Amino acid sequence: MQVFKRHHNTLARVFVISGLLAIVGLAVGGSAITRSPWWTKVGEPPDQPVPFSHKHHYEELGIDCRYCHWSVTESAHAGVPSSEVCMTCHSQIWTNSPLLEPVRDSYNNNKSLVWNKVNNLPEFVYFDHSAHVNKGISCASCHGGIEKMHLTHKSQYFSMQWCLDCHRNPEKHIRPKEEVFNMYYKTPRTEDEMKAMLERYNIPYDPNSIPRNQLELGKLLVKHYNIHKEQLSDCSICHR
């Protein structure tokens, strides 16, 4: 005795295919959502105790990154400025600004300002600022045009793939170490400009093979700074 009719086979196929398509759709949709600005908060400045402007301090006043992020060349963490650092200037200027009341309160009562992280990496990811800046990777490579930001926000979504793209191809981003904190740095365009820069920073080069672009310069710097590309994709580099 036949329990199911022939058209039930067609219905079964439709249900199976629909189920598979739904699973694929959920996977693709979930991936798209977790990479969207709505989820990653790229471009959205978090609330801070003080509305600090990198544009004003770096671009307009010319204050070097290291004045505030004093530990960036020596430790894994870039460090945020203490209220004492802020008050080296603001004990003299904007002394009555209500915007800076939290800084004055922190300084006078010897209690730390609590800043909210802009880039909050997972606990299983290890990132060392000093390892990057001391090998010629600029602030701009990860933080984008931060010198233009009135309020600091993420400029990149730090996915594993995004990091690996740089680790596998550091030539695209590396620059002379002396230019790491120069947010206006441009790769020299002419042979004379390239030679002048290499000589200025005592970077050895072959006079018969002067770099002509960023990739060629990057290859030269990778060798000069003893960067072992083959190790940069090892799991233990970022996961310890």
**pLDDT tens figures, 171-225:** 999 999 999 999 999 999 999 999 999 999 999 999 999 999 999 999 999 999 9
Q: Specify the pLDDT at position 213.
A: 97
pLDDT tier at 36, thresholds 50, 70, 90: low
Q: Are 45 and 153 in contact (CB under 8 A)?
A: yes
User: What 8-state DSSP symbol labels residue 110?
Assistant: T
Please tell me the predicted confidence (pLDDT) of residue 211.
97
The structure tokens listed for 142 are 């990860």
Interatomic CA distance for residues 163 and 61, integer angstroms: 32
- CA gap 10, 175 in Å, rounded: 62
Whole-prediction pTM: 0.82
Query: pLDDT digit string (tens) for 44-73?
Result: 999 999 999 999 999 999 999 999 999 999
Q: What is the pLDDT of residue 29?
A: 57
Mean pLDDT throughout 73-82? 92
Residue 81 has pLDDT above 80, yes or no: yes
Q: Give Cα separations from 213 to 175, 206, 209, 210 (angstroms).
A: 12, 15, 12, 9
**Lowest-confidence region among 57-61, 114-118, 164-168:** 114-118
Q: Which residue has the higher pLDDT, 133 or 240?
A: 133
154 forms bridges with which residues in the sheet? 42
